[in-house]
Structure 1
């Protein structure tokens, strides 16, 4: 039986991944929730309550839960938790940027290091760690075509990419494979909440269920030979600057390895 840990699993992509993985009776899915009263657990899906990845004690709380449940090895960790607030040159936000960094990079990095330091057992040979980032974190893909702004959103994803790269170097000798992914532009409450729903049709946005299927298929094929890399499992279709930076979209492969 495979043990899959999904961090941020009560809505959006995380919830879709949890439902998809639990459909296989050979999987045991651990799904974290920020609330102390998550949905009821099922036969092979166990909710882990009160895990706010932006909190300093999230890793310790998660580790205590895993010990209580006698979980000794995790095959796949997928960190989907995120936060998105818009900014502009005229309207930057210290508070919003701080929350984005805490949620999107500091919390995930500390959580994975906490798991990795648990006697080299939870994460060891064969484990895969997937950080859900975004193509917005690629410095190379930023272009005047899309303009500036949204500093915390872009920069926190770039910082997450760097943390993932460094973790891949630290854990390579243990044969733990680590990657960052752009799962696709999605029709979620998060993108609606910042007004990006007006771009859904033009940008080829998909539902979280569709993105989850593509990501799961990609994770199945992902291994240590690709550790430390940055990928778009759904390819270049929803990457707005792919054509001006990487070339004609119809000539780019799917999945697509992204530039840093």
Structure 2
């Protein structure tokens, strides 16, 4: 029975991914929640409470749960947890940037290193690690068409991309396949909360369930031959700068490998 671990799974993409994997009775799905009172567990979907990826203790707490449940191997690890606060040249925010880096880059990196150092079998040649990032983390795709601002959001995703690339090099000999993905522009409370709902229709935003389906299908094809790469499973359709930087969307493939 494959074990799938989803970090940040009580809402948005994480919840949709966890529920999609749960729909296959052959999967054992573990899903983390920051809250001490997560949704009720079901037959093959178990919630792990009190896991805040921005906390230094997140990895140790997660390992304690895995050990008490005698879970010695993770087949698929998907880290979806994120935080987005808007900024501009006139309104930067030290506090917001710090939280974005802790949540989007530092926490995921430390958590994966914690799991990798626990044993050679917890993450091994049968394991896939997927970091949910964003096309906003691509320096190449940044273009005057969309302008500047949102420093912490974009830069924390770029930092995550770099950490994932380095982890892929560290764990390649062990056979752990690591990827960074842009799952798509989504109609979530996170994007609504920063006012991006006004771009939903023109930007081709989809529901988390739709994005989850594309992501899970892509993960099923991903293996060590693509480790350390950066992908958009849904292609270029919702990437606003794709045509300006990469060329006609009609000629770009889906899935699309993204430039760093």
Give the TM-score normalised by structure 2.
1.00
Give the aligned partner of residue 77 of structure 1.
77
Alignment of 1:157-172 (within 5 A): 157-172=157-172
Give the aligned partner of residue 207 of structure 2.
207
Give the aligned partner of residue 55 of structure 2.
55
Give the aligned partner of residue 145 of structure 2.
145
Give the aligned partner of residue 20 of structure 2.
20
SS in 2 for 1:237: coil
Q: Give 1:121 deviation, angstroms.
A: 1.6
Give the aligned partner of residue 219 of structure 1.
219
Structure 2: 5+ residue runs without aligned partners?
none
Q: Give 1:133 deviation, angstroms.
A: 0.1
* In 2, Cα distance between equivalents of 1:199 and 1:215: 22
Give the aligned partner of residue 247 of structure 2.
247
Displaced runs of 4 or more, over 3 A: none
CA deviations on 1:107-150 (whole Å, 9 max, x unpaired) are 00000000000121210111000000000000000000000000
Give the aligned partner of residue 33 of structure 1.
33
SS in 2 for 1:201: coil
CA deviations on 1:212-243 (whole Å, 9 max, x unpaired) are 00000000000000000000000000000000
CA deviations on 1:150-205 (whole Å, 9 max, x unpaired) are 00000000000000000000000000000000000000000000000000000000
Give the aligned partner of residue 127 of structure 2.
127
Give the aligned partner of residue 108 of structure 1.
108
SS in 1 for 2:56: coil
Q: Give 1:26 deviation, angstroms.
A: 0.5
CA deviations on 1:83-126 (whole Å, 9 max, x unpaired) are 00000000000000000000000000000000000121210111
Q: Give 1:210 deviation, angstroms.
A: 0.0
* In 1, Cα distance between equivalents of 2:71 and 2:128: 16
* In 2, Cα distance between equivalents of 1:257 and 1:118: 31
CA deviations on 1:11-38 (whole Å, 9 max, x unpaired) are 0000000100000000000000000111
Give the TM-score normalised by structure 1.
1.00
SS in 2 for 1:203: coil
Q: Give 1:257 deviation, angstroms.
A: 0.1
SS in 2 for 1:173: coil
SS in 2 for 1:174: coil
